[in-house]
Structure 1
Amino acid sequence: LGTVQWPTLALALGSLLIILFWPKGWSRRIPGSIIALLVGTGAVVLFHLPVETIGSRFGGIPQGLPAMQVPEFSWSHLRDLVQPATTIALLAAIESLLSAVVADGMIEDRHDSNQELIAQGIANFVAPLFGGIAATGAIARTATNVRNGGRTPIAGMVHALTLLAIILVAAPLAKYIPLATLSAVLVVVSYKMGEWHHFTRLLKWPGSDAVVFLTAFSLTVLIDLTVAVEVGMVLAALLFIKRVSDTTQITPVDEQSETEGPHHSLIGKTVPEGVQVFRIFGPFSFGVADRLETSLKIAHLEPKVFVLRMRKVSFIDATGLNALEDLYEKLRNKDRYLILVAPQDQPMKVMNKSGFAKRVGPENICGNIDDALNRAREILKDN
């Protein structure tokens, strides 16, 4: 208790009470935070309270705009600047869009991401000419603006013009604003911005989602919002990949397992001896590529002709293609054949571009299961 600064504590609590108990009916026209700032600043000036202010902590606010100066540019420094500049640009974009998403949730609207990033890019290009540094959309100020009635881009413009007016006209007065009052404003804003009533609901999500949420939340509190967003995005991406891979199935096909229509079903059709039909159901990416070979090993199958139905493969990446190429090479080395059935547009484009379709041969890429079985019979007859 000996270290407590009682005037600062009293001013902070008083400002907090003004903000919390300011009549809601008046808040639309005169926000409680403005009244708290006026009352707090007035108390400091009139009673000479021994509390820290903007002026005592940071010095006076310069009155007037800085002169325009073109910074020196050197091609020799360009290589050193590319990496940090790219990092700053990406993080600034993430934080600004996150601020916009927070505002969307508060006003039940949707922002224009392209407009946001283009405007920010122009501003960050011009700011260094006047001695400024790269800036982002700030969640705290955005939330404060929204909580006090801001709903359109005009609110942001008014905010900027107000700061300009303070610099040009009221800079000598702004130095008297007490930091204790500003802290009270930020406490209320941060509490309302947190939307704590959603916290318990989010914890009821599936366990993996809750882990991502708690990790991002903890990093925001303990380290930094930017770090939390980066780690959260990586964890969410890994979780998404796992879930997509879990939906993909690689199984042998027979009449009992069929759910396809007449042109693609094996029901009522004879699969020649020495022919085995498999199907891939779902995206065929690096998360599931190893399952193809694993499924074959488990089945202990070594057919003369391996028919792989791809009608339900919506997407294939480089790792999935590599798995198909490995399968093709292993079959060819054992004098066996691979027939692909009904690949969709994206997988077909990938196979054509890589040259894999040419290696397999157009005669071994069939449009339906009937054509594939007929092709298998031709291979068996010739071999």
Structure 2
Amino acid sequence: MTGWGRFQGYNIASLRKDIISGTIVGVIAIPLGMAFAIASGVKPEYGIYTTIVAGILISLFGGSKFQIGGPTGAFIPILFAIAMEYGYENLLIAGMMAGVILVVMGLLRLGVLIKFIPKPVTIGFTAGIAVIIFTGQIGNFLGLKGIKRHEAFIDNMKELGMHISTVNLYSVLTAAICFAVVVLGLRFAPKVPGSLVGLLCASVVAALFFSGKVTTIGSAYGDIPNTLPSFHFPVITWERIRHLLRPAFVIAMLGAIESLLSAVVADGMSGSRHNSNRELIGQGIANIAAPMFGGIPATGAIARTATNIRSGAASPLSGVIHGVVVFLILLLFAPYASSIPLAAMAPILMVVAWNMSERKQFLQLLKLGTGDSLVLAITFLLTVFADLTVAVEVGLVLAVILFVKRMGETHLVAKVLPDPASVKVAAHMVTDSHDCPQIGIYNVEGPLFFGAAYRFNDTMPELGPGQAKLIILRMGKVPFIDTTGEANLAELVKQLKADGGKLMITGAQPQPYDLLKRTGLYDKIGAEHFFDHTGDAINAALGMIHTDRCAGCRHAAFRECAALSGMEEVPGRGVFKGRKPAVAGKLSSGIQ
């Protein structure tokens, strides 16, 4: 569903649904936006600005009917690392560059490619991000003093250990109250925005009973302004673009993956169908615009999108309303947000991390003990102990290697002969005493590509004196050939011609057939040597053999051998004795 077609059949009842769902999601988005911003190493209001600007634009220009966009947990490790290394101003520029990349991807219709990222890779880096988010909130949960955040996971764990003696019991109590409310809310009142209620309860208790004993947003970051920031276009130079290209690409890739995964979830819950390329364009526009108002990179938020659908959203207007609601709350209640304890924000992010960890799928894949388990484990470990970019790159490379290996293993080549009992060819018919010294028939199954080249070469016969010079390849089960596979066939044709032989191909599928024509190998083999049925190829081959070599031959590979060898067939056994000059009928003509 694209364009204004997403509003088809819209009426007053639909508007009522959108207002309700948009309001609910907007209320939920406020604490999450601030928490994600703080965890990303920037001021909390930047998360709210992102929720407003990006949330509205993603709903207006995206390709999903119910997608809710904004800051998400998946971005936290990346944005924190970029903010630390390059600074806030460069983070905004990297976000804008990522937006341009997303728009270009959408225009080039590359949305479908994101869907080919293997599941072990996505689950691995998602679980790794969840671990980073969860552990990153331990300091705020415990109210530790003097904590410095680092890019490296190990350094952050060392920092916690060094300051564990500074635990603030008031912070622990505040965090525990918020955590209890959130968990109990999820258990007994799932429709109530537990994160907001927990945040309010913990903040009220802290303000009434131990004011000044816990770190608040205001004491750590200053008061939150109750207006949008003025429009500001960052100073962009070619040097900055070159310097920020890599982080921008990482933001774009993760944004594309997260938004399209969220859109797929929305499709499954609502029965709608998103336009992946339009979604990328919408995400790109939002990420270009949000930094101009101080916003950080945004993407589709799975949890908020799911809440939007469950709350009865009827159109993308609910996403626009959610952004407007956040803006109105910012105008009216921003001064009160400064009193929120950081300890009350920590449990919210911990719950987000727990929910996004995909622990069940993670453990299930890990227990399989397959190549996918290895890809999962390596991607996870690299995400935690190195960085997401390296994790995804290595994970994808490993996944490709495993895929090539598996596809290569599906490629089978077996020598076959006709089976009189079934009027088909079968590998079990080939024995030392039952074979044809002049004609070799081979079943080729699976894609003939670079990953299977070694198997094809190892199983094909060695050519030379005394070997069959007429080779029939049954290629009805070869769906695909690449240039390496074509080169293997070309080498076989070359060797056969040098030895006075010929190659015949039966049942070639469209893609291999087309490739052989385009490379010219079709003409080298000869159009007359391509057949629809194996029986026709056998009959043609029998017309090319040296009949003088058939006299007295006891291999009896074909029924025609009875006449050619001058031997008498033993019924049901495929062997001959004595002399019988008459032809016993052509079984070969019925073979497919």
TM-score for the superposition, normalised by structure 2? 0.54
Per-residue deviation, residues 299-339 of structure 1 (Å, max 9, x unmatched): 99832222211111111122211211222222233333222
Is 1:331 aligned to residue 496 of structure 2?
Answer: yes
- Aligned pairs (5 A) from 1:101-116: 112=274, 114=276, 115-116=278-279
In structure 2, the residue matched to 1:38 is 200
Paired residues in the alignment total 374
Alignment of 1:143 with 2:314, yes or no, is: no
Percent of aligned pairs with the same amino acid: 37
Matched residue SS, 2:223: coil
Aligned 1:1-383 pairs, distance under 5 A? 2-22=165-185, 24-28=187-191, 30-46=192-208, 47-68=210-231, 86=249, 88-100=251-263, 112=274, 114=276, 115-130=278-293, 132=295, 134-138=297-301, 142-143=302-303, 146=306, 156-194=319-357, 196-198=359-361, 200-224=363-387, 227-256=390-419, 273-297=437-461, 302-380=467-545
Per the TM alignment, residue 344 of structure 1 is displaced from its structure 2 partner at its CA by 0.5
User: Contact 1:102 / 1:143 at 8 angstroms: preserved in 2?
Assistant: no
2:554 corresponding residue in structure 1: none
Secondary structure of the structure 2 residue equivalent to 1:284:
coil
Task: After superposing the two structures, state which structure 1 stretch, 59-68 or 284-293, moved more.
Answer: 59-68
Please say if residues 376 and 395 of structure 2, whose CA atoms lie closer than 8 Å, have aligned partners that are also in contact: yes
1:35 CA displacement? 1.5
Between 1:38-47 and 1:355-364, the stretch displaced more is 38-47
The 3-state SS of whatever aligns with 2:346 is: helix
Q: Contact conserved, 2:463 with 2:496, CA < 8 A, in 1?
A: no
Structure of larger gyration radius: 2
Q: CA deviation at 1:183?
A: 0.8
Change (3 A) 1:233 1:189: same
The answer (yes or no) to whether the contact 1:310–1:344 under 8 Å persists in 2 is yes
Quick one: structure 1 residues 198 and 132, their matched pair in 2 at CA, closer, same or farther if it must change by over 3 Å?
A: closer
Structure 1 residues 363 and 83: alpha-carbon distance in aligned structure 2, compared to 1, 3 A threshold = farther
Paired with 1:48 and 1:266, the residues of 2 have a C-alpha distance of: 84
How far did 1:291 drift?
A: 1.5
Quote the Cα distance in structure 2 between the aligned partners of 1:285 and 1:314.
Answer: 10
Secondary structure of 2:472's aligned partner: strand
Contact 1:340 1:364 (8 Å CA) reproduced: yes
Whole-Å separation in 2 of the counterparts to 1:336 and 1:345: 26
Tell me how far 1:281 sits from its aligned partner.
Answer: 1.0
CA distance in 2, matches of 1:344, 1:236: 28
Question: Against the structure 1 CA distance between its residues 184 and 266, is the aligned structure 2 distance closer, same or farther, given a 3 Å change threshold?
Answer: closer
User: 1:71 deviation in Å?
Assistant: 6.2
1:64–1:167 CA contact under 8 A, matched in 2: yes
Query: 1: CA distance between counterparts of 2:254 and 2:358?
Result: 24
What SS class does the counterpart of residue 505 from structure 2 fall into? strand
- Give CA deviations for 1:1-43 in whole Å, capped at 9, x if unaligned: 6311222111111211222234855441x32222111122223
Compare 153-162 and 31-40 and name the one that shifted more. Answer: 153-162
**Matched residue of 1:89: which SS?**
helix
Runs of at least 5 residues in structure 2 that lack an aligned partner in the other structure? 1-163, 548-592
Shift of 1:294: 0.9
Deviations 1:50-109 (A, max 9, x none): 32222333333344334445667778988887776555433321233344556778x586
SS in 1 for 2:479: coil
Counterpart CA distance in 1 for 2:342 and 2:417 is 75
Q: Quick one: which amino acid aligns to residue 19 of structure 1?
A: V
Deviation at 1:234, TM superposition (A): 3.6
Asked if structure 2 preserves the Cα contact closer than 8 Å seen for 1:9 and 1:180, the reply is yes
Counterpart of 2:300 in 1: which secondary structure? coil
Alignment CA distance shift 1:240-1:161 (3 Å): farther
Check the 8 A contact 2:199/2:345 in 1, yes or no. Answer: yes
Shift in alpha-carbon separation, 1:330–1:54, aligned structure 2, 3 A: farther
For residues 77 and 317 of structure 1, the distance between their equivalents in structure 2, rounded to whole angstroms, comes to: 41
Mapped partners of 2:421, 2:257: distance in 1: 46
Cα–Cα, structure 1 residues 63 and 333, in superposed 2: closer, same or farther, change >3 Å? farther
* Higher relative contact order (Cα pairs below 8 Å, separated by 6+ residues): 2
Looking at structure 2, the residues matched to 96 and 232 of structure 1 have their Cα atoms a distance apart, in angstroms, of 20
Query: Per the alignment, do residues 63 and 307 of structure 1 end up closer, same or farther by CA in structure 2, a change over 3 Å counting?
Result: same
- 1:31 to 1:318, Cα distance in 2 relative to 1, 3 A: same
Question: CA separation of 1:217/1:155 partners in 2, compared to 1, >3 Å: closer, same or farther?
Answer: farther
Offset, 1:353: 1.6
2:212 is aligned with what amino acid? L
DSSP 3-state at the match of 2:451: coil
- CA RMSD after TM alignment: 4.0
Q: The residue matched to 2:513 in structure 1 has which SS?
A: helix
Closer, same or farther: CA 40–348 of 1 in aligned 2, 3 Å: same
Could you tell me the TM-score, scaled by structure 1's length? 0.79
SS in 1 for 2:468: coil
Give yes or no for contact 1:44–1:176 (8 Å, CA) kept in 2.
no
